Amino acid sequence: MSIAHAQQSVDVAVETGAWHAITSASPIVQLTLLILILMSIFSWAIIFQKRKLFKIIENENSKFEDDFWKAKALEDAYESLDEHEESPMAHVFESGFIELKKIADSGKDAKAGEAPSRPMLSGIDNLERSLHKSIENEISAMEHRLSFLATVGSVGPFIGLFGTVWGIMGSFQKIGATGVASLAVVAPGISEALIATGVGLFAAIPATIAYNMFLTRLKKEELTLNNFGADFLNVAKRNFFREG
């Protein structure tokens, strides 16, 4: 191999480096890469935030559930809510307890010494709806921003593919303009194309993995809240509702 040929190969290798490919890319490709990088940054921010959130939720729910079953009365569990502000289970209990208190207060209109049997029975539906609505609100709060991860996971590769197609089109245009299909002419455009694809996958793969992982955790927390809601409803039925 001649010295001139070797030097030409070195020059081509330098000019087709990743950073050079990005800085020399067309504005469309650079904009595509910027969008993908921003999507990746936001995705990782959500991943770290949700990971921390679900860890806190799991710990706080466990603590509140222990306090709930240790409490001698529902009022005692209600008084301990200030210690469990980050527990979705505590929020569900709070909604149920408030609704139960409303039902109990409405039963006070009955005559003194007379058990409010049938009127109170109709309130069990209200209590069930209150618990169900509270659970839905908590799940919705935990689900917040997960859709962005799903979007990045599904759209990211296609945005990268757009940059790939654009880069290859630029390479063919250079070939057509110069009439030379050498590596020095083709390599920069191909580099742009491959980098756009790589960045698209770099943004999409972690987002997809995290979305599926958090979706599994979300289903687990939903099951936990539904089970607690059923337990709370059973406790309320045994202690506060009487059939006529």
pLDDT for residue 185: 64
Cβ-contact 241, 121 below 8 angstroms = yes
**Terminus-to-terminus CA distance in the chain, angstroms?**
102
| Spatial separation of the C-alpha atoms in residues 123 and 102, rounded to whole Å | 9
What are the φ/ψ torsions at residue 113 (nearest 5 degrees)?
Answer: 80, 5
Give me the tens of pLDDT residue by residue for the chain, a chain 244 residues long: 444 454 444 444 445 466 766 777 778 888 999 999 999 999 999 999 999 999 999 999 999 999 999 999 999 999 999 999 999 999 999 999 999 998 888 766 554 455 444 445 567 889 999 999 999 999 999 999 999 999 999 999 999 999 888 888 877 777 777 776 666 666 667 777 788 899 999 999 999 999 999 999 999 999 999 999 999 999 988 887 765 4
Each domain of the chain, given as residue ranges in start order, spans 3-240
| Spatial separation of the C-alpha atoms in residues 165 and 22, rounded to whole Å | 15
Q: What is the pTM for the complete model shown? A: 0.81
pLDDT for residue 243: 57
pLDDT for residue 127: 92
